[in-house]
Homo-oligomer: A and B are copies of this chain.
Amino acid sequence: MPMSADESTGKSNVAVIGLGSMGFGMASSLLRCGHAVVGYDPSGTAAAKLAAIGARIAKSPGDAAANASVVLCVVVNSAQTDAVLFGGSGVCPVMVPGSVFISSATMAPSEAKRLSSRLAERDILYLDAPISGGAAKAASGALTIMASGSPDAFEHARHVLDAIAAKVYRLGGEPGIGASVKMINQHLAGIHIAAACEAMVLASKLGLDLFTVYEVITASAGNSWMFENRVPHILDGDYTPRSSVEIFVKDLGILEDIARAERYPAPLAAAALQMYLATSGAGMGREDDASVARTYAALSGASLPSAKPAT
């Protein structure tokens, strides 16, 4: 039976759908741990890179999932996840009862519940498992995973989670809880990036030395994980996308949808979302999310450090 992990070896047949920087890193961590990996991505480049380190490459999500006991879906949002499951050549028709679908996309809790219900009709397990950490931690198998789902889903996914994560939070027995906690993280992260940009560009407007301000703030009560991580992009004048503006257009958009449905006022998230929208609207949607600083600069005439010349 190829449909469940071989408990004697702890090795699984894993399909990884979506080979962006996160999915590729997770697939490479799985290979390193000895799992058999079949990858799928619409981009031939990412697929070829994964083939070069030992994975089999499939022609469709369904093809990838054909012999997998675990399908790990690392796409951008619930619409893409839905297409991977139920679209043409999707994975749902070929997954067998008792296998597990691990969903990593950030999405509304209601979407996680809907997808898991549809899979439950066919006795396919669903793990609501958003990730935090970034490409480097994905590549080293050191992600943080905020997961919820049935004990069976956790048990069946165990070896895969062990390979990709340094820390797995088991947040509850129902899909949707993982998605909710991830939304709370994105709520804060999205505000903190925009706040870092708002404050640093004001510092420039006030004539302060931005490198000194960075040093002082990172040692003071105004610090945040995002301030520490994103402000160096501003100091370097380097807006190469590590994580793009569009990610927070999406995630704070989902957040505001949830808040509106809950009749919950979230004015800080709403203000931050406007700044991501303005930055995307000005043509920087696919650039680094620290580009919000360039919007503040454009709106105020402040100057920012320019990129270092290539050497």
Enumerate chain A interface residues (CB-CB to B < 8 A). 109, 132-134, 144, 146, 167, 169, 171, 177, 180-181, 183-189, 191-192, 194-196, 198-203, 205-208, 212-213, 215-217, 219-227, 229, 258-259, 262-272, 274-275, 296, 299-302
Contacts and interface: CB of A to CB of B under 8 A. Distances in A.
Given A181-B208, A192-B224, A224-B224, 12 more contacts: A132-B220, A134-B221, A167-B219, A180-B206, A185-B221, A187-B198, A187-B222, A192-B195, A201-B264, A202-B266, A224-B226, A265-B296
Contacts of A219: 144, 167
A213 to B, nearest CB: 6
Contacts of A177: 208
A202 B264 contact: yes
Contacts of A296: 264-265
A199 B189 CA distance: 10
B225 A202 contact: no
A217 B212 CA distance: 28
B180 A224 contact: no
23 contacts: A109-B206, A134-B221, A144-B216, A146-B216, A167-B219, A180-B207, A180-B208, A181-B212, A181-B213, A181-B216, A184-B200, A184-B202, A184-B203, A184-B213, A184-B222, A187-B198, A189-B221, A191-B268, A202-B258, A202-B259, A202-B266, A265-B300, A267-B271
A195 B188 contact: yes
A135 to B, nearest CB: 13
- Top 8 A-B residue pairs of the complex, sorted by shortest distance between their CB atoms: A188-B222, A224-B224, A185-B222, A267-B271, A271-B271, A191-B195, A187-B199, A189-B222
A206 to B, nearest CB: 5
A209 B217 CA distance: 31
A262 B203 CA distance: 11
Q: Which of A169, A206, A223: most chain B CB closer than 10 A?
A: A206
A264 B196 contact: no
A274 to B, nearest CB: 7
Contacts of A301: 263
Contact of A184 (B132, B199, B258, B268): B199
Contact of A188 (B208, B217, B263, B268): B217
